[in-house]
Amino acid sequence: MKRTVLPLLAITAAAALGSAIAAPISYRLPPEVAAFRPGPNLDVVKNNCTACHSADYVNTQPPMKNKKEFWQAEVTKMIKVYGAPIEDADIGKIVDYLAAAY
């Protein structure tokens, strides 16, 4: 019986100690320093893209010659690879805004 109780006590003590040590950590995000540029369909971009991306992230994208093709590929990647829940009706609006604004 002692062989059964001791391992159970050890597991219980380890679990209690682990939960006491694993207290939640809070942290403060730095303030956002960039803003999305004004333009048509900005509301659609904010509603769809800001769940994962900040304006800072969009501003870091490299300049490109074929802006519309680039942004179409990026939006398609967000949907197909990362599972972004973007409605079909919003895809063109997002691409047009990003190609014009960036």
Domain total of the chain: 1
Picking from 52, 53, 54, the residue whose alpha carbon sits closest to that of residue 33 is 54
pLDDT, one tens digit per residue, over 17-43 is 665 576 788 888 788 788 999 999 999
Residue-number span of the structural domain to which 46 is assigned: 42-101
Kindly report the pTM of this predicted structure: 0.68
**90 within domain boundaries:** yes
On whether the CB atoms of residues 100 and 39 are closer than 8 A, the answer is yes
Picking from 3, 102, 95, 101, the residue whose alpha carbon sits closest to that of residue 49 is 95
**21 within domain boundaries:** no
Q: Kindly report the CATH number assigned to the domain that includes residue 71.
A: 1.10.760.10
